[in-house]
Structure 1
């Protein structure tokens, strides 16, 4: 399970590189969608087209959801398309990836998130750069409540991933990437007012590093990690026990149509 021998293979480093690029693009696109154009200076030419708060919530939710689905579709066959340390931890806990791969995936995801947030920071107008994309607790939301919300949101995301990518299932149809994207959209639609709906420690880590703002940052690590572990163990050992054999990844070969399905 340590997987040290994997360090010698090109496939391993290709997968790690895939996680880096996927996370960079995911954070860049997602953080870019959080720019609050409504707060632009009154002489800004873009102010006439500014969305309402409700529209912004929908915009951010859809951008993160579709970005997630797109990255899964693009990198699922390369790295499994984790794009989330919580997902990687769930895969390690259930022995679907090795410990060494999990460690390098985590490093690649964190570096990619910082790079993506940095690019978004440089591309944004100066008026919008402060705390750009930083997740924070909503008004009157305590750290304990934020922890619970992040735990539940990540639980439903990881449970969706495990159910959608189970190689033992024969009833799967449609796009798994879109199913995962829909789970991300649901989580954001509910969770943005509470915690910003991170569900992803790296997504929160990148902007926090660039803004040097780590207020309540622990919530976005503890909550997602606990939720991911709970979802993975519950699915693997209660709802749909596995054979105990480690899975090579989260790309599922569909023999019926000769294609690959994440």
Structure 2
């Protein structure tokens, strides 16, 4: 099982210039993604005068997130790997492709970037609310948890197949497109039910700025479970020990 390859990382990694640059790249990528994604939702709300969600609004949100994630992953890919998601980082950690110390740096950068993006949006829109993720009528927390697990599994499985797998070859060039597409498709599938987060940082920023934490745990537990399952399944079945690229042990 790939879980035996989990690495904590050397103490010096936290201050390693390459690790810090990678974390900064995650910050900027997440800022781009959340600003565009959350901003699209706020724009739709303004156009419809805070009316109920419509099919066209759901399509617009899916398209905005897909395009923004495509860009955010692309600009960070050569520096940090373009995770743009704490769950993706967790999946990479579970598969032994990133150390815990570097993962923590990524998580801090991703969460701060999400908060900053939401604060910028609130200021730029003259105080409009950055809507926190919530469950739709009739949805239980367990329904939403399943949604988040399955959708994040699809996302992280796609990340592994197109970006992490050392046998990916030329397929790696379309990784940002594939990752953006699966997120957009999942928003169409689950957006009307629980908001289709798949990304704890995307939920964290709006929750902090609006200070609304209803069912917030679902948007952490679901993505982390889905990411771990995808990492274990793909790494164990399709990568294995022979092709696995070992992590550095000193800094």
Q: By the TM > 0.5 criterion, same fold? A: yes
RMSD: 2.0
**Structure 1 position 247, deviation (Å):** 5.6
Alignment of 1:222-233 (within 5 A): 222-233=221-232
Structure with bigger helix share is 2
Which of the residues 6, 18, 26 maps onto 1:19?
A: 26
What is the CA–CA distance in structure 2 between the aligned matches of 1:180 and 1:242, rounded to whole Å?
A: 25
Residue-by-residue CA offset, 1:99-140 (whole Å, 9 max, x unaligned) = 1100111111111111011111122244xx23x231111110
- 1:34 equivalenced with 2:34 (yes/no): no
1:147 matched to which residue of 2?
145
TM-score normalized by the length of structure 2: 0.88
Pairwise mapping of residues 107-186 of structure 1 onto structure 2 (< 5 A)?
Answer: 107-126=108-127, 129-130=128-129, 132-165=130-163, 166-170=165-169, 172=171, 175-186=174-185
Corresponding residue SS for 1:79: coil
CA distance in 2, matches of 1:198, 1:94: 22
Aligned to 1:251: none
2:4 aligned partner: none
The 8 Å contact of residues 3 and 99 in structure 1, kept in 2 or not, is answered as no
**Over residues 187-222 of structure 1, what are the superposed CA-to-partner deviations in whole Å (9 max), with x where a residue is unaligned?**
111010111010000000000000000001011000
Distance change >3 Å, CA 119–CA 159, structure 1 → 2:
same
Structure 1 residues 8 and 134: alpha-carbon distance in aligned structure 2, compared to 1, 3 A threshold: closer
2: CA distance between counterparts of 1:158 and 1:247? Answer: 20
Pairwise CA distance, 1:242: 4.2
Alignment-derived partner of residue 186 in structure 2 = 187
Q: Which residue is 1:203 aligned to?
A: 202
Counterpart Cα distance in 1 of 2:10 and 2:132? 34
Unaligned regions of 5+ residues in structure 1, if any? 42-49, 249-262
Whether the aligned pair in 1 keeps the contact of 2:162 and 2:172 (CA below 8 Å) is no
Alignment length (residue pairs) = 237
Q: Closer, same or farther in 2 for the Cα pair 1:205/1:51, shift >3 Å?
A: closer
In terms of Rg, which structure is larger? Answer: 1
Shift of 1:238: 2.4
